Structure 1
């Protein structure tokens, strides 16, 4: 049997019909506690803005709440969309999180906007920090600012000015670079950082990106060897039929997003099953199903192993997209907990 990869969790804090933001966050915090008990390696929150079905807008806030409610699991961002933020602010936030939970914090960094153009403009009114072309410099700046020695800024007067993200760092978060292109793979290799390919969003270019990353990798002190992780959407249940039913709300939501239709809270399973079908949506859903893991425990576990072996990755990050029935509690996500439990039982 092929060896099982390490397992982690990616959470967008989904919001479904009948849920408040408070309900959705409560459900995700309970899910993180379940992942902690089940032995998952890490739990990451994504950054998305102004989306009716996503409450994961501020990863540092959610990370702080999660480390306070868990015991051993690493917690981090998947990721902070750096062009939206000043590098010093990101460094200070994650230095503080590292002080709160030493040895348990990950800083995943990406350069996508995480929203529509209007929200992107609102997030980027800070000016030069929003320059995507300076993304490599800003990643390096954050790494320097987080280090115990900090960074040195040379002022226009010629005087040097010392800056640290926290006064007396004892350790630093683990920095990961996220992406879905040759650019991100090459930059991660150049900086000697672990790399996450966004397979859950787009599988195109996976093999080329990973090959570039590994072939061009420059060992760093923290990471002498390349390290890779692959996020994947998953719905796992006792039966394939139930797994398919629970996956449908998220499949339909992603189909709306990719066909530029108005977004809305996630449907319940009953709403999704009763909704009329259309050819565009069905075609998009069929394409996504080929890359998502939807099945019973044994079948899903076999798919996870096969995906990890084909890509040669060290870790698979499960994005549990199992939807909810009408009668399930608003502040819980039984289908998502079930997905993590069944996979851990087969792969743990």
Structure 2
């Protein structure tokens, strides 16, 4: 079983963005030392508890701070970006760290509607249905990343387009999604695929079946290639794991119920929060899909998840919170989750 890591670069009470980035760099070094296979960062915008706003910048920092682990995006939200810019960014990353870069692409906004508008169109740009153009944009990126690049016909002339002048390798491209749309598209194009099990938890089996049944072999993948994501908190005792999980559970509850978003609470702040009775069922439903507990309990649960869905790689999202006395530039409970899990799964 391969283990990998997903990181949203969380920002908690009392932390600066710089603190959060430093904590994630330490987490990446820990994952690298422990033998984790990949380390992916997400793309979210204008959120007080998430500093992962720019995957290519973070990937460059993380790849430079680690030795062997693959580093990638989980993912770049393609409707927010020009395909040529994405191809340039990841072509350059692959050139700097050959064989260590993954390009994961999604079509979700990764933000609220106002922020999405600013990202895509500025203060008065022409409306462009980037979501509808998503399949074509994926094709454009795949072509422009190839050493020979693409050719654009304009006014009777052919203009070459290459992501980088002299590519010797290309990063693998993954499609990400939480519905059957990306599953079908990945199958059609013969691309590796990831279902966002950590976020949705519903429809995983159906999406994977659609992907596997409809898969067409390609130069990018000879057979269906997938992994699963899961939220995890691992501690020496189940009680401690539950305490460490509560800050992130409360953050997700706020997101799902439309409550004001704030920096992630410390474990002490989270323990003092009284959840309204009307929301207790939703909180427990989310918690039931997470893997929270002692090392053996979480390892066994993840083993069952992998067996149920027939995957040989799991990407864990370590969501353990921090205490009031935790140094602001570190996240020791997230690092400990990775250590304890690696040992239990060995």
TM-score surpassing 0.5? yes
Equivalent residue number for residue 236 of structure 2 = 238
Residues in 2 aligned to 1:163 and 1:128: alpha-carbon distance in whole angstroms: 25
Are 1:42 and 2:41 matched, yes or no?
A: no
Paired residues for 1:1-348 under 5 Å: 5-125=1-121, 127=126, 131-155=130-154, 157-348=155-346
Query: For 2:342, what is the secondary structure of its paired residue?
Result: helix
Q: Give the conservation status (yes or no) of the 8 Å contact 1:181–1:205.
A: yes
Residues in 2 aligned to 1:128 and 1:103: alpha-carbon distance in whole angstroms: 37
Greater Cα offset, 250-259 or 279-288: 279-288
| Structure 2 CA distance for partners of 1:249 and 1:310, relative to 1, 3 Å | same
Residues in 2 aligned to 1:241 and 1:106: alpha-carbon distance in whole angstroms: 36
Deviation at 1:281, TM superposition (A): 3.1
Q: Deviations over 1:281-323 (max 9, x none)?
A: 3222100111100010000000111001101122110000000
Query: For 1:112, what is the secondary structure of its paired residue?
Result: coil
Greater Cα offset, 51-60 or 203-212: 203-212
Structure 2: runs of 5 or more not aligned = none
Deviation at 1:335, TM superposition (A): 0.7
May I ask how many residue pairs the two structures share in their alignment?
A: 343
| Structure 2 CA distance for partners of 1:70 and 1:320, relative to 1, 3 Å | same
| Structure 2 CA distance for partners of 1:127 and 1:233, relative to 1, 3 Å | farther
Residues in 2 aligned to 1:141 and 1:230: alpha-carbon distance in whole angstroms: 27
Q: CA RMSD in A?
A: 1.0
Q: Give the conservation status (yes or no) of the 8 Å contact 1:87–1:129.
A: no
Query: For 1:331, what is the secondary structure of its paired residue?
Result: coil
Query: For 1:8, what is the secondary structure of its paired residue?
Result: strand
Deviation at 1:277, TM superposition (A): 2.2
Deviation at 1:128, TM superposition (A): 6.7
Deviation at 1:130, TM superposition (A): 5.1
Residues in 1 aligned to 2:236 and 2:339: alpha-carbon distance in whole angstroms: 11
Q: TM-score, normalised by structure 1?
A: 0.97
Query: For 1:76, what is the secondary structure of its paired residue?
Result: strand
Residues in 2 aligned to 1:317 and 1:280: alpha-carbon distance in whole angstroms: 32
Q: TM-score, normalised by structure 2?
A: 0.97
Query: For 2:270, what is the secondary structure of its paired residue?
Result: helix
Query: For 1:132, what is the secondary structure of its paired residue?
Result: coil
| Structure 2 CA distance for partners of 1:127 and 1:210, relative to 1, 3 Å | farther
User: Hey, which bits of structure 1, 4+ residues long, moved more than 3 A?
Assistant: 126-130
Residues in 2 aligned to 1:151 and 1:335: alpha-carbon distance in whole angstroms: 46
Deviation at 1:249, TM superposition (A): 0.2
Deviation at 1:280, TM superposition (A): 3.1
Query: For 1:317, what is the secondary structure of its paired residue?
Result: strand
